[in-house]
Homo-oligomer: A and B are copies of this chain.
Amino acid sequence: MPRKKEIDETLHHLKIETGDIIKIVQNNKQYEGVLMPHHEFSGDDIITIKLKNGYNLGVAVDEQTKISIVQKQKTLEKQTKKIPVDKDKPTVSIIGTGGTIACYVDYRTGAVHPASSAEELAFSVPEIFDICNVKSQVAYQLLSENITVPHWKTLAELVAKEFNNGATGVIIPHGTDTLGYTAAALSFMLKDLSGPVVLVGAQRSSDRPSSDAAQNLMAAARVAATTDIGEVLVVMHGETSDTYSLIHRGTKVRKLHTSRRDAFKTINDVPLGKVENGVVTLPTSYRKKTKGPVIADTNMEEDVSIVYFYPGLQPEDIPKKKGLIIAGTGLGHVATTLFSQLTTLIKEGTVIVMTSQCLFGRVNMHVYSAGRDLITAGVISGEDMLTETAYIKLMWALAHKKTKKEVELFMTTNQVGEISERTRSDAFQIDQT
């Protein structure tokens, strides 16, 4: 009985439901406790029960394991929690998209599961009601690696609607994997923001003592409810300890570590500010909020790819698309064996933008003659943009600009903070305060 589906069928057959007290007998040992909902973090062959002492126990069940019911749960009336309203407080809209952050602790079992309703989302961190009124909705429930252009469009339209219906700020809990891509997409899609749009994630879920979910969401609420920023932002832990959260510009931020709580870093700039002990500080300049109305301008050309250069990359492995981002080496280089193919693609109408796989620093194709040849061929400089941001920007540009010249001008000109005019000397660091 190795897989979740088979376990589910067995439980169903025995009429066991989440919340029932069950007994598991395995290898002469027996365990008794409340059956918990299956959790994404558990193995597929794991049944989790909450023991009398309050601890959760995961049991790896096999075909020899015997499971029986001890006591059916009392049919609890669905406890209706009411979202409090305080007319003196600003109202923040929360739009759920899935991910580790948007999890809800079940009041019967103490287990964590993805918030599937507006109420569960709002109550995922009830302390938020001290800061603001909350209006919440679930746009979709996705692991962020499955989020694509249509999801960004939906989200941008929901954000605009919430602002235009009076929200002071918008919070978007989001899986961390592609959080940076979504932040960049919303940055280009949303115009005339009348308040901050704060994307927020968690690297550890709420049932773990080390969870960063609560601090990040509270910090996001402070930024959304109390600042005059008119930009798309990302708020995440600044350090591994629970000291402060950083406010990153949506076009300059990137997940730079697979697992650490301070995984998100501003690249090629300093963070916009931070939230510490409930206080928001914003030492650098930012775009101020407008009076609106907020416009969601969401057209995107989806026929765009990212090509990561490596020694040995073959010309035929560069796909033929309307747009290409090439993450080149160093100042923006690729092997000369690819020049002919790039030139052909450009002649056939592909717009090619060069970024650097170095991550930090600026593309400069003027330094070496090979780079100058790329410029002559029509390759556009990605300046100091992140590869991911350049990808999003090119999709937006190709859907909005008519000529190659207009696209080039748009790509090489700062629009929403994605290109720094000058690189700060303190912008090459991971310890960001």
- Which residues of A are at the interface with B, using a C-beta cutoff of 8 A? 4, 40-41, 43-44, 143-149, 176-178, 181, 240, 255-260, 263, 302, 304-313, 317, 319, 327-337, 356, 358-364, 367-370, 372, 387-388, 391, 425, 428-431
The answer on a CB contact under 8 Å between B312 and A302 is: yes
Determine if B333 and A145 form an interchain contact, defined as CB atoms under 8 angstroms apart. yes
Which residues of chain B are near A177, meaning CB under 8 Å?
A: 329-330, 333
Q: Which residue of B has the minimal Cβ distance to A395?
A: B312
Rounded to whole Å, the gap between the CB of A263 and the closest CB of chain B is 7
Asked if A311 and B149 make an inter-chain contact with CB atoms under 8 angstroms apart, the answer reads yes
Which of A43, A147, A330 is the most central at the interface, judged by chain B CB atoms within 10 Å of its CB? A330
Q: Please give, as numbers and ranges, the residues of chain B lying within 8 Å of A329 by CB-CB distance.
A: 144-145, 177-178, 255
Task: Choose one: B255, B313, B361; the contact of A330 (CB below 8 Å).
Answer: B255
Chain multiplicity (copies): 2
A395 to chain B, nearest CB (A): 8
- Smallest Cβ-Cβ distance to A336: which chain B residue: B146
A160 to B319, CA, bound (A): 39
A356 in contact with B311 given A370-B145, A372-B44 (CB within 8 Å) = no
B358 near A258 with CB under 8 A, answer yes
The minimal Cβ–Cβ distance linking A322 to chain B, given in whole angstroms, is 12
Interchain CB contact under 8 A, A257 and B428: yes
Q: Which residues from chain B contact A144 at a C-beta distance below 8 Å?
A: 329
Given contacts A263-B358, A361-B263, contact A311 B368 (CB under 8 A): no
Interface of A is mostly: loop
CB distance from A222 to the nearest CB of B (A): 26
Shortest beta-carbon distance from A429 to chain B in Å: 5
Chain B: which residue is nearest A185 at the CB level?
A: B311
A308-B306 contact, Cβ under 8 Å, with A255-B330, A257-B360, A430-B428: yes
Cα of A260 to Cα of B428 in the assembled complex, Å: 9
Chain B's nearest CB lies how many Å from the CB of A387?
8
Minimum CB–CB distance from A335 to chain B (whole Å) comes to 5
Partner of A258, one of B145, B176, B360: B360
- Nearest-neighbour CB distance to chain B for A175, whole angstroms, equals 8
B257 and A367 contacting across the interface, CB-CB below 8 Å: no
- Whether A146 touches B337, Cβ cut-off 8 Å, given contacts A330-B176, A368-B40, is yes
Most buried by B among A145, A256, A313: A145
Task: Name the CB-closest residue of B to A330.
Answer: B177
* A176 contact set on B, CB distance < 8 A: 330
Determine how close the nearest CB of chain B comes to the CB of A114; give it in whole angstroms: 12
Which 9 interchain pairs have the tightest Cβ spacing? A258-B361, A177-B329, A308-B308, A177-B330, A257-B360, A145-B333, A257-B361, A258-B358, A306-B310
A193 to chain B, nearest CB (A): 23
Known interface pairs A256-B359, A259-B362; 16 further A-B residue pairs with C-beta atoms within 8 A, sorted by A's residue number? A146-B337, A147-B311, A148-B335, A177-B329, A177-B330, A181-B310, A258-B356, A258-B360, A259-B361, A263-B360, A305-B317, A310-B388, A317-B319, A359-B359, A430-B431, A431-B431
Chain B residues whose CB sits within 8 angstroms of the CB of A319 once the complex forms: 317
Q: Which of B4, B256, B333 contacts A360 (CB 8 A)?
A: B256
Give the residue of B40, B310, B337, B388 whose beta carbon is less than 8 angstroms from that of A369: B40
In the complex, what residue of chain B is closest to A175 when comparing beta carbons? B330
Bound together, the chains give a CA A313 to CA B307 distance in angstroms of 11
